[in-house]
Structure formats: C-alpha cells, structure tokens
Amino acid sequence: MFSQKDSNAESRLSGQDRVARNVPETAVEEVEEPLSATSPTASQRPSNPTRQSSRNGVPTVASSLRNGSNSHQDTPTAPPGRFWTDEDGEHHHFLKHAKRQEKLRDILRTFLSGKERENHEEQPLSLMNSWLDQVRTEKNKMAADKSGGPNATATLVQKYGKCQEIVGKGAFGIVRIAHKPDPNDAKHEQLYAVKEFRRRPNEDSKKYGKRLNSEFCISSSLRHPNVIHTLDLLSDAKGDFCEVMEYCAGGDLYTLVMVAHKLDVIEADCFFLQLMRGVEYIHEMGVAHRDLKPENLLLTTHGALKISDFGNGECFRMAWETEPHLTQGLCGSAPYIAPEEYIEKEFDPRAVDVWACGVIYMAMRTGRHLWTQAKSGEEFYENYLKARRSEEGFQPIESLHRARCRNVIYSILDPVASRRITASQVLKSEWGKNIHVCKAGEEGL
C-alpha cells in the first residue's frame, strides 16, 4: 500500500525508481485537514481548495542584499500575516525576527514563572522544550556576551560599520548586527551579520585560526540563492575571529516554527524545496554541511531560505576527483543525526545531510522532533522502525495526506543509507516538481 516503507519490495530499488512508481496522480493539496475517519479522500476533495492565510506566526524587515541589507525599504501596505496567497495563486512571506523574539521572551517568562513548566516536561520531543534546554545552557554565558562585542578594529568598522545588537547565540559564539551608513543615502544604512567565534576548550591560537580559516574557505566559495553569502573573515585586537555575512532579517527557521507551532503546507513545502536546492548545490560542489537543523537555516523578510554555519562542513570530493570520500565521526545535533553515524565506521556525508532534511521537514509540519536521537534503543526511533514496516505506517508521516509527499519522506528517512534518495532525486520526484517556491525564494532575496 505504501510504496516507500520497508514492507514493500520496491524499497530495495534505487531511490528515484521508488519515488516515481506507484504514486497516485493526485493534485497537490494546499490546505490539509486533520486526518479522521470521516475525512474525504483525495479524489473527493475540491479541485481548488481554499487558500488561507496563517496568522499565528510573525512578520520582519529588509531583504538581504549581496553587499549587506538595507535597513529602510518600501514596505507593502499591511501584509495580512506572516504567510498568505494572493488572487493569482502566488504565495508570499513576511517574516519579522524582532517581533518573534518578543514572543519568545514572553514564553520564557511564563516558563520561568512555573506556569507552563510541567506541560513542557511532559513533551520531550517538542521544539520548545529543546529551546528551553538550550536557554538554560546558555544562561551562564549571557553576561559575557552582553559585555561588549569584538574589540573593533578600524578595518571592521570602516568596511562594515559598528557592531550593535545581538541577534543570535550558540555554542560557536554570538551574532551581532553591524550598521554601516549608506554612502549614497545618509538616511539609510546597510546591515551585516557579524559572527563572533568562541574558542573551544583547550584550543590554542594556532588550532583556533586553522578551524576558522577552514570554515571560511568553504563558506566563502559557495554562491547560491539558498546558501548564505559569506563576505569576510577578520580578527580583532584580541586575536579573536569575526565572520561577516549577509544579514537575513527574517530570523531562523527554528524560532519561526516554535512561535507558529507548525507551518502551513505551502509554507513548509516552499522552505523545504529551497533547502533541497541548496543541499543539491553544495553536494555538487563537493561539500557536505553535516549540521543541518532549523537553527542553521536563515530567512529573509520575504521568505528566501539560506543554509548557514559551515563550522562542521567538509569537502568530500576535490574538483579533480570523480568519486566521493567517505567520512567518519559523530557530528551535529542529536535529533537530526543520521543512524549510520552511530553504527558505521565510515559513511557518505551526503546521505547524512539528506536525512537531516527529512527531520527538518517533519519539524516544520508537526512542530516536534520525531525522536531524541535515531539510535537503537531510543523509544521513539524504535517505534518508527517498527511502524515503517507495518501496513498502518508511521503516524506523523501518515498525517501528511499526500501520497507523493509521504513516499519521498519515507525514502529520505530510510535507515539504510545506501537506499536513501539523494537531494537531486528529491527535486526530480513528482512531489518535488509540483512544489511552488515563492519569488523571493527563487531569487534568494
């Protein structure tokens, strides 16, 4: 019944054959209803489903430019929400990172007051629960982060302006916005993201510099609408490194999903296809990311998605080579790590990236992680392995009503890496070919 589950002999065929065959030719549904015994089948649904705006998220500022983002742009009159579809059937995004941060602060205050703490502890797979754990971890580092910013050199200030507000934190360090007056218009300014890197424990200056230069060499060589544009790598007066990137005013996918709880079908599909295009490109360039997760997917105001943070990236194939090198070692964030990383000595890093994309899509659609880690003995992952072999299937994936979509997700989340489909095959699947990307996503603006 389900062509991509292990119960079907076709799961042993190549990924593209498995996606293309035995898939019902149903129209792509743009609004999905909760699955119930009385839900109509695909053939009973109206041919032109009602398109609805989603208002439970939040909107934001300027779109990214290759030489920075302009902080003052003409804004259309009152967008109806963070996401909507116009009369011509085109969909649009309006994402505002600042307002989303305000809502997250409200959520954190509520949690710290004890009102929602018990509820969160009962939901170990929720993205919100993971975020609160991260907040606890980062709490001790906040005071140091707020104390100042990089020891600004003349070069940094002259080229990119003064670093001001913090817009992101992580194990790597923090990200601030640099404000530079526009030389052509004194009323406007250009915005850049400046990533300040922490040194790892017991990391000397030589290893620290080598690590940062390696990341910069990878990220600065990539040019694609769905990959962050890295502009510069500078060291400050203390010898600490700062990486300068284009500023994405829409924030990151992780906080968007948390605040929205889950994304609409068209919205999630748009972001997913942009992600797969970016992954296909970096794989063609011989680069694997190895730490794909919603936190590392940045958004512009109008909905372009960009892959960022190549700190764990590696080159698996040089320009003169035709065959990829296998990689080794555990890397990334637990819910997105592929199962082969736990059990294989060496594995294909491209398959690892694709696995993470499948987990990200399910997080967008459900607002939850599928498991804490895809490892033998983990309760939720074991349930998935059993369910994908059953006639009923795995409930979170089965809730994606379109068969084309389900089949691709099952193929992406194939626990056997050699059977897992590639980014290119996802894009060539019937589902992938029917996903419509917004104009901003096409152009990377």
Domain spans of the chain? 9-25+261-443, 100-246
pLDDT class of 86 with cuts at 50, 70, 90: confident
Flag whether 439 is marked binding: no
- Name the one residue in this structure whose structure tokens are 């072999």: 389
What CA–CA distance (Å, rounded) separates 349 from 339?
12
pLDDT class of 386 with cuts at 50, 70, 90: very high
Tell me if residue 204 is catalytic: no
Which entry of 6, 291, 309, 414 is annotated as an active-site residue?
291
| Higher-scoring residue by pLDDT: 284, 104 | 284
| Higher-scoring residue by pLDDT: 103, 303 | 303
Beta bridge partners of 368: 126
Amino acid letter, residue 136: R
Work out whether strand 230-235 and strand 162-170 pair parallel, antiparallel, or are unpaired.
Answer: unpaired
Is the pLDDT at 30 greater than 70? The verdict is no
CATH topology of domain 100-246: Phosphorylase Kinase; domain 1 (3.30.200)
Please give the pLDDT value at position 214.
83
Amino acid letter, residue 280: E
Is the pLDDT at 442 greater than 80? The verdict is yes
Is the pLDDT at 43 greater than 80? The verdict is no
CATH topology of domain 9-25+261-443: Transferase(Phosphotransferase); domain 1 (1.10.510)
CB 287 within 8 A of CB 132: no
pLDDT class of 112 with cuts at 50, 70, 90: low
Is the pLDDT at 105 greater than 90? The verdict is no
| Percent of the chain with pLDDT strictly greater than 70 | 68
Q: How many CB atoms are located within 10 Å of the residue 12 CB?
A: 10
> For all residues of the chain together, what is the average pLDDT?
77
Is the pLDDT at 233 greater than 60? The verdict is yes
Sheet strands (E) in 220-288: 230-235, 241-246, 287-288
Amino acid letter, residue 304: A
**Helix and strand element counts for the chain (H, E):** 16, 13
Beta bridge partners of 177: 193
What CA–CA distance (Å, rounded) separates 95 from 116?
26
Is the pLDDT at 391 greater than 80? The verdict is yes
Please give the pLDDT value at position 165.
85
What CA–CA distance (Å, rounded) separates 408 from 386?
18
pLDDT class of 319 with cuts at 50, 70, 90: confident
Query: In this structure, what token pair is assigned to residue 45?
Result: 């649904």
